């Protein structure tokens, strides 16, 4: 993997970069739509490519391991062929499920026992197994197995969890280096900084992660309920330590404002279910704020969904029609909303890159964030 820094904003830590893997080149900052089980719910790849053009999708190791299973993906020739996707793919290691499925798992130094949310069966993930599964899935960028701590979390537990994540990282690296890609392209491993909301732990973790000298680095354990100001504080501390010439990936973030604020801190890569999940619940993101399309106020509003939107649905359908689709539980409504939201996130990232190129990112950020959190 090759990472090139192309430009830095003069008044913030925002930067423009370029990452090249065997599945192509993409610029950063970048938002990666979440295709948890090898699909973005309700959206065809054709619509993704033609309207949003994401260069990276994120899938989840734990979910793909359960369904369809490693062997099915291997027989298809890897995840790209399985889901007919020719661009880059990143897989989370399953570490987030250590957090999200906390009532259905038991954790120790060796790894994690999960109880399947599908059929109640038990499965054991070790750092080595997480790497093996990701080798079999075949994503371009794979993540180290970690423990994502909840919020709130006392410092003693946060330190213990961080130390465990660091121990697991060594095992992940050893397994990754002792194995090779199953397919005809290279894979790249990113470690993950943890430490909850404690600045000294975050700094310690960032230093340890940096010393492993991997192709890129991730920041985990944020966007789990902590106040946004704490998220920004932790990202600032971590980005001040992580190597400048390697990409930084903030996992699971976030709202449009979260993304813009963290770009200003020097983060390059983002993913989140928010634009797709919220779309399926009737929330639309726009540059002027959010719309709950289910509200009665939109019943007779025959204006376009978003006159400034970049996708075909924005110029084709009205707010009144989209509200109607949600009111009758027609799945087309969820698909339209999903395409719109992903298009908006794509537009937002492109505008941020344009502002960095023109060396006016801070000015642009301060102006746009005033409206992003409005409720229309």
Q: Which residues are catalytic?
A: 92, 271
The answer to whether 346 touches 310, Cβ cutoff 8 Å, is yes
From CA 270, how far away is CA 259, in angstroms rounded?
7
Residues contacting 271, CB < 8 A, separation 6+: 31, 32, 33, 34, 58, 90, 249, 251, 252, 253
10 Å CB burial of residue 118 (0-12, 13-18, 19+) is: exposed
Nearest one of 187, 257, 240 to 215, comparing CA atoms = 187
| H helix runs in 240-311, sequence order | 256-264, 274-280
Radius of gyration of the chain (CA): 20
Question: Which residue in the block uniquely carries the two structure tokens 């734990």?
Answer: 62
- Tokens at 164, concatenated: 């465990």
From CA 92, how far away is CA 88, in angstroms rounded?
14
The answer to whether 111 touches 126, Cβ cutoff 8 Å, is yes
The answer to whether 269 touches 250, Cβ cutoff 8 Å, is yes
From CA 221, how far away is CA 196, in angstroms rounded?
6
Host H or E run for residue 105: strand 105-107
Host H or E run for residue 231: helix 228-239
Which residues partner with 34 through β-bridges?
58
Q: How far is CA 162 from CA 107, 156, 197, in A?
A: 13, 10, 12
């Amino acid at each position: 993997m090759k990472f090139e820094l192309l430009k830095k904003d003069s008044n913030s830590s925002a930067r423009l970069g370029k990452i090249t893997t065997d599945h192509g080149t993409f610029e950063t900052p970048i938002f990666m739509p979440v295709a948890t089980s090898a699909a973005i719910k309700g959206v065809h790849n054709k619509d993704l490519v033609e309207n949003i053009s994401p260069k990276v999708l994120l899938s989840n190791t734990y979910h793909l391991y359960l369904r369809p299973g490693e062997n099915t993906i291997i027989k298809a020739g890897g995840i790209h062929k399985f889901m007919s996707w020719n661009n880059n793919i990143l897989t989370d290691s399953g570490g987030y499920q250590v957090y999200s499925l906390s009532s259905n798992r038991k954790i120790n130094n060796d790894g994690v026992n999960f109880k399947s949310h599908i059929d109640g069966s038990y499965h054991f993930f070790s750092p080595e197994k997480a790497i093996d599964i990701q080798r079999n899935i075949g994503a371009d960028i794979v993540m180290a197995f970690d423990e994502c701590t909840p919020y709130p979390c006392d410092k003693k537990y946060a330190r213990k969890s961080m130390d465990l994540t660091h121990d697991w990282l060594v095992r992940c690296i050893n397994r990754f280096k002792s194995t090779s890609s199953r397919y005809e392209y290279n894979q790249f491993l990113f470690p993950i900084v943890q430490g909850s909301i404690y600045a000294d732990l975050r700094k310690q973790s960032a230093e340890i992660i940096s010393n492993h000298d991997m192709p890129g680095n991730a920041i985990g354990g944020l966007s789990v309920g902590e106040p946004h100001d704490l998220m920004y504080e932790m990202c600032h501390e971590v980005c001040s330590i992580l190597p400048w010439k390697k990409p930084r990936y903030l996992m699971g973030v976030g709202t449009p404002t979260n993304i813009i604020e963290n770009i200003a801190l020097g983060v390059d890569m983002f993913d989140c279910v928010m634009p797709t999940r919220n779309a399926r619940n009737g929330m639309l993101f726009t540059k002027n704020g959010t719309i709950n399309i289910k509200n009665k106020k939109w019943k007779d509003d025959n204006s376009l969904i978003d006159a400034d939107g970049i996708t075909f649905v924005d110029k084709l359908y009205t707010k009144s029609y989209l509200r109607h689709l949600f009111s009758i539980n027609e799945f087309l409504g969820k698909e339209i909303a999903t395409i719109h939201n992903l298009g908006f996130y794509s537009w937002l990232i492109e505008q941020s890159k344009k502002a960095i190129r023109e060396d006016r990112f801070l000015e642009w950020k301060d102006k746009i964030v005033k409206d992003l959190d409005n409720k229309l």
